[in-house]
Amino acid sequence: MIIEQLIHECIKNNIKSQEQLYNLLAPKLFTVCLKYSRNYEEAQDNLQESFLIIFEKISQYKNSGSFEGWAKRIVINYVLQQYRKQNIFEIVSEKIPAEEDIEIDDDTVSLEFLTKIIQELPDRYRLVFNLYVLDGYSHKEISEMLEINIGTSKSNLARAKAILKNKIESKNSFDVKKSK
C-alpha cells in the first residue's frame, strides 16, 4: 500500500493501516527520538507519545512536503515540549564562547561512542547541539522552538561542542596510551 493510501486509511482510524504506517516510520523516527532523549527508554516513550499525536493530527497533513518530514517535525516538537515543561534552560548574559570545530577521525571514534557522549550532554546543550548540528536549524529557529534567546542558543552550542571535544580528545589519548 502506498503512503498516500495509508494516510487516507489512518484518517479513518483503520488500525491495520496505522500499524503499517508505524512499522514503516518507527525506525527512522526512533533515531530522531534517540538523538533528543537522555536514554533508550526515554526515546521509546517519546516515540510512542509522538505516534499518538501523529495519528491524532494525521488529517491535518496537507500533502505538501514529505509525510516523513511532517512526522519528524511532530516528534521533535513533542520532545522539545517535554523539556520546555522542565524549564531546563538558563538565560545567559555572559560573553558567548567562540564556537569550536571538532575534528573527528572516523577510524578512532565510532558512531556508537558519538551517540553515547551526545546523550550524556546536559539536556540544554544536547537539544541545541542536535537541532543546530544534526538537523540544520538556525539559532533564530532554535530560540523560537525552545523559547530561549539567540545568545543562549549560541552559548549552549559552544558549550556542547567544548564538552564533546574534551570527551573525544580524552578517549583518543586513552586509546593511544592503551595501545602502547
Which range of residues forms the domain containing residue 149? 111-179
Q: Is 92 contained in some domain?
A: no
> What's the mean per-residue pLDDT of the chain?
86
pLDDT digit string (tens) for 34-44?
998 888 999 99
- Residue 76 belongs to domain with CATH number: 1.10.1740.10
Residues 3, 63 contacting (CB under 8 angstroms): no
pLDDT given for residue 108 in this prediction: 61
pLDDT given for residue 174 in this prediction: 63
Query: pTM of the predicted model, to two decimals?
Result: 0.73
Q: Is 32 contained in some domain?
A: yes
pLDDT given for residue 21 in this prediction: 97
Give the total number of structural domains in the chain: 2
pLDDT digit string (tens) for 107-144?
567 888 888 899 899 998 999 999 999 999 999 999 99
